[in-house]
Amino acid sequence: MAVPQRAAGARTPGILFAAAREAGTSLVRNLSIPAPFSDAALEAQFLEDHSQRFCAFRRASTLLALAIWTCFLWWDFSFARGNQALDSRLPTILAVRFAGIALLFFVGVLVLRPSFRSHASSQRIILTGIYGLLCLILALVAITPAPYNYTQHFIGLCLALFFQFSFFYLRSRVALTAGIITLGSIIVVQTGFHLLNTEDFFAGLFYMFNVVVVGHGVCTHAERVSRERYSSERALASLNDELRTANVSLGRKNRELEVSKKDQENKTNALLALREQQMIAAQTASRDKSNFLAAATHDLRQPMHALNLFLQAAAEAIRNGEFDQAERLINECGRSSVILARLLNAVLDLSRLESGRVVPRYHVFDVRGIVEEAAEQLRPFASSRGVELRLRLPKEEVVCVRSDAHWLGRAVANLVSNGIKYADTSKASKPTVIIGVVRSPTRARIDVLDNGIGIPADYFDAIFQPFFQVDNPEQDRDKGLGLGLSIVNAVISMLDQHRIELKSTEGRGSRFSLEMPLCGPSLDQPSGRAPARSEAAEAAQLSGRYVLLVEDDGLVRASTEALLSQWGVLYDSAATFEEYEEILATIERFPDLIITDYRLRDFKTAREVAMLSARKLGRPCPCLVVTGEPSATIVPLACDHDVLSKPVSPAELRREMVTLIAGECAVATA
């Protein structure tokens, strides 16, 4: 039990020393003048805030000082009147008292003014009052004989210092300066004039020194608390500003979130609506596709059915020895096959155009060329219908446009053919179709006019739908297939900056107008097509020519061989790429033309066929690709070539062969 007691006793001096050191540190801190803020602007703001904060208290303290000073006037008057030693000095004492009242009244008026709220003005007024009172009290001490000057008036110095340290909240440095000056003044006056008794002087000096020390500590503490409070309030204000800014930002973000939420809801609703529209559009497209396939299937079956019947009837006529009848029936078979091929090609073209697989090939050319070509192709057809075909073209002016010559020519030919088919032969005037070209500063226009049956306004949109025909309820194929205007519409929709316009009056005729961009003449114009030839002239061009045929379909190969034989064309045919390679190794004559399918067995294509012939024969040979592939998917060959889509009519096949062979001959001659 003794050990803990000794340990506790050993710790006691340490605890006392720490407490004493802490007390000393606190005393030094309380007596140390607080340092001003490092920022001069912040210090000035603090002083202004300090003056405004204690402005009312300083005013009240000034009025209190005036009241106390007035009370001392009554005290001096009462005390001195009964005292013989003071009675002679009473007028002077009262004069000093009245001077103090006047000073304090003047100071009171100044402290009530609005300018007293500023730091500079308040400090100047307060120090004026304090130093003035100290001087007046010293004057009272000087004029009052001892020992009354100590007992009656010296205490006033302590009271004045008490006021300056406690009630006016001056800066500790300023208040301490006033106290030191007061002490110094007492010492100087006593040393020079010995106004006070020695005992009274040292006692008064001791009390005044303690008042200065204690007052300085109070003033220092008050200033430090005021500075800390100002810093805290400033920090709090800064935090409040940050909080207010954060609240504003949060409010703005909340509003933005609400707006974003509404936008998201609108987008969601728009997406749902778009999805609904796309679903409806997909259903409509699916329904239109089904209707298109149904109509196409129906129209394809008609000529196919007629072809089968004609073939059967021709076979029966041959068995019965009716050769003239058999020839007529075979001609009807050819007519049915032409209609079937035309319908199938039209369906395929429309399908390719609407699927977006056709990529237009733009170049600059004279639009008059395709108009003249369409007129030459359709003039025999117009003559057979009794329709006059006229051209209205600029004679010497070149009309160059930027377009796809092939597809634009197809569109013009379809419009002209449509005008011929729907000619009104019941009118007194002769049925006429006029093709004109009109040029404007920036556009070119192709007009196709007819004086036929016209189109009712209710049908302006319907006529561009597949298989729709005005005034053809019996589906007479001599009046067309109902796909011509659909192809025209698809072509114009595919070509950039092209448009179609229709004007028609029922019973008077129609005008279709195609507009396209106008361009200046170009040096890179496409070469014109070969001039039209008669069947006899084409047959003469092909007689004796040597052709290589590459076709993996046996039925197509056999029919093509039979047709080439009838035209007097010499040929070698191959069913595979290997057979074609063997033929190239053994032939003794350079072929005039190669006819090939695009896609062969073993992943071979017409490109390999053309490249092999160029390598084996030493130079490229013209190549005619007859295929069911879309032309947009065919890779360009390493030779002059053309592409025909199956099914191909014999006349079209013969014409393309003559064109390619004639081009090769022209190159060889050059």
DSSP letter at 605? B
Strand-strand pairing, 623-627 and 641-645: parallel
Residues of the chain with CATH 3.30.565.10: 361-519
Looking at the chain, the whole-number percentage of residues with pLDDT higher than 90 is: 10
Q: pLDDT: is 72 or 468 the higher one?
A: 72
pLDDT at 352: 61
pLDDT at 528: 41
DSSP run (H or E) holding 199:
helix 198-319
Task: Enumerate residues 6+ apart whose C-beta is below 8 A from 506.
Answer: 453, 454, 455, 456, 457
pLDDT at 658: 87
Task: State the Cα–Cα distance between residues 166 and 159, nearest whole angstrom.
Answer: 10
pLDDT at 535: 67
DSSP 3-state of 197: coil
> If you average pLDDT over residues 603-615, what whole number do you get?
86
Task: State the Cα–Cα distance between residues 294 and 300, nearest whole angstrom.
Answer: 10
Task: Enumerate residues 6+ apart whose C-beta is below 8 A from 179.
Answer: 161, 164, 165, 211, 212, 215, 216
Homologous superfamily in CATH for domain 361-519 = Histidine kinase-like ATPase, C-terminal domain (3.30.565.10)
> If you average pLDDT over residues 208-223, what whole number do you get?
89
Residue 465: pLDDT over 80: no
CA atoms within 13 A on the CB side of 428: 0
Beta-ladder partners of 433? 389, 450
> If you average pLDDT over residues 238-266, what whole number do you get?
89
Task: State the Cα–Cα distance between residues 98 and 545, nearest whole angstrom.
Answer: 148
Q: pLDDT: is 289 or 454 the higher one?
A: 454
pLDDT at 635: 59
Looking at the chain, the whole-number percentage of residues with pLDDT higher than 70 is: 82
Tell me, what amino acid is at 221? Answer: H
Tell me, letter by letter, the H, E, C secondary structure of 494-530: HCCCCEEEEEEECCCEEEEEEEEEEECCCCCCCCCCC
Q: Which of 408-417, 482-491, 495-504 has the lowest mean pLDDT?
A: 482-491
The first and second tokens of residue 122, run together, are 């308040």
pLDDT at 296: 53
Beta-ladder partners of 502? 512
Range of 373-377, 580-584, 637-641 with top mean pLDDT: 580-584
Which residue's entry shows tokens 């303290």? 61
Whether 48 and 40 have beta carbons less than 8 Å apart is answered as no
Q: pLDDT: is 662 or 237 the higher one?
A: 237
Angle at 26 between CA 23 and CA 29, to 5 degrees: 150
> If you average pLDDT over residues 100-123, what whole number do you get?
92
> If you average pLDDT over residues 124-135, what whole number do you get?
91
Phi/psi-derived region of residue 621, left when phi > 0, alpha when psi is between -120 and 50, beta in every other case: beta
Beta-ladder partners of 664? none
DSSP run (H or E) holding 447:
strand 443-450
Residue 632: pLDDT over 50: no
Backbone angles phi, psi at 357, to 5 degrees: -80, -10
What number of other Cβ atoms are within 10 A of residue 286's Cβ? Answer: 10
DSSP letter at 537? H
Tell me, what amino acid is at 483? Answer: L
Written as one string, the DSSP assignment of 23-34 is HHHHHHHHHSPP
Instruction: Please give the radius of gyration of the chain, using alpha carbons only, rounded to the nearest integer.
Output: 61
pLDDT at 669: 47
Residues making up the chain, counted from first to last: 670
The first and second tokens of residue 542, run together, are 């092909």
Nearest alpha carbon to residue 363 among 469, 519, 207 = 519
The contacts found for 426-432 with CB under 8 angstroms, 24 or more apart, are 427/451, 430/386, 430/388, 431/385, 431/386, 431/387, 431/388, 432/387, 432/388, 432/389, 432/390
DSSP 3-state of 599: strand
Could you read off the pLDDT of 311-350 as tens digits, one per residue? 777 887 888 888 788 788 788 777 767 666 665 665 666 5
| Cα dihedral 583→585→588→590 (10° resolution) | 80
Nearest alpha carbon to residue 405 among 361, 444, 435 = 361
Mean pLDDT for the chain?
A: 80
Q: Which CATH class is domain 535-669?
A: alpha beta
pLDDT at 503: 82
CA-based diameter of the chain, in Å?
185
Q: pLDDT: is 59 or 491 the higher one?
A: 59
Nearest alpha carbon to residue 347 among 419, 421, 295 = 295
Angle at 305 between CA 302 and CA 308, to 5 degrees: 150
pLDDT at 461: 63
Task: State the Cα–Cα distance between residues 423 and 453, nearest whole angstrom.
Answer: 7
pLDDT interval class at 112 (50, 70, 90)? very high
Task: Enumerate residues 6+ apart whose C-beta is below 8 A from 1.
Answer: none
Nearest alpha carbon to residue 640 among 616, 615, 612, 659 = 659
* H-assigned helices in 588-649: 606-617
Task: State the Cα–Cα distance between residues 322 and 468, nearest whole angstrom.
Answer: 40
Task: Enumerate residues 6+ apart whose C-beta is below 8 A from 175.
Answer: 164, 165, 168, 215, 216, 219
Which residue's entry shows tokens 């301490």? 176
Residues of the chain with CATH 3.40.50.2300: 535-669
Q: Which of 97-111, 388-402, 430-444, 652-666 has the lowest mean pLDDT?
A: 652-666
DSSP run (H or E) holding 664:
helix 650-669
Could you read off the pLDDT of 616-625 as tens digits, one per residue? 888 888 888 8
Could you read off the pLDDT of 525-569 as tens digits, one per residue? 444 444 445 667 777 788 889 999 998 888 788 888 888 888 888
The first and second tokens of residue 210, run together, are 């303690």
pLDDT at 103: 92
Whether 220 and 34 have beta carbons less than 8 Å apart is answered as yes
pLDDT at 110: 92
In the chain, DSSP finds a helix count (H) and a strand count (E) of 19, 12
pLDDT at 293: 58
Residue 470: pLDDT over 50: yes
